[in-house]
Copies of this chain bind each other. A is one copy, B any other.
Amino acid sequence: MKAMEEKILSDGKILPGQILKVGGFLNQQTDIKFMVEAAKEVARLYEGTKITKVLTIEASGISFSTLVAEQLGVDLVVIKKHASANISGDVYTAEIYSYTHKNSYVATVSKDYINEGDKILFCDDFLACGNAIKGVQKILTTAGAELVGCAIAIEKGFQHGGDTLRSEGIRVESLAIVESMTDDAIVFRK
């Protein structure tokens, strides 16, 4: 999506440690009008796939995922990063290592919200190493649900998580793929 690449170039900043700071439009502050257009592009890419639910892991991808779910006309399910007083009864869990935060967490979601036969679109703001998606896939397999594909706002191509997932047959649609970053330049994958 050309508009996403242009937005990253106009609004993004590169921080030390190959952190791409796009908090001004993607998550900490969400440019709703722009992200609605991004969500429409996701809905176009997945047209005809009969998705029943959009799934994300809290928290930074929730606003984007909400807009995608709205465009697809389905409900959103948010996997929590920690057990909570608000999650009761049976849950699905998967341990996931976070590259950004350099630690592991136990992704947790109530069994009430993922049903056998659900056709799931996993949606997130970033894809780096792909660990979150592997955890999600484990949960969906246990639940008897299908991962139709992934919709990512920005993929960090140089961390190769997306490449690995695609080589395993998982559909990954990223609105922009950053091939490389230096301290003052961003190169996108063609």
Contacts and interface: CB of A to CB of B under 8 A. Distances in A.
Contacts of A59: 58-59, 62, 78, 80
A84 to B, nearest CB: 7
Interface residues of A, number: 42
A77 interface: yes
Copies in the complex: 2
Contacts of A23: 86-87, 110, 113
Interface centre among A32, A59, A80 (most CB of B within 10 A): A32
Interface stretch (A66-74, A131-139, A146-154): A66-74
Nearest to A15: B88
A168 interface: no
Contacts of A48: none
A26 to B, nearest CB: 10
B63 A76 contact: yes
Contacts of A127: none
A159 interface: no
Nearest to A28: B78
A180 interface: no
Top 3 A-B pairs, shortest CB-CB distance: A59-B59, A62-B62, A66-B66
15 contacts: A23-B87, A28-B80, A29-B77, A30-B66, A30-B69, A30-B77, A32-B66, A32-B69, A32-B74, A59-B80, A62-B62, A62-B66, A63-B78, A70-B70, A84-B101
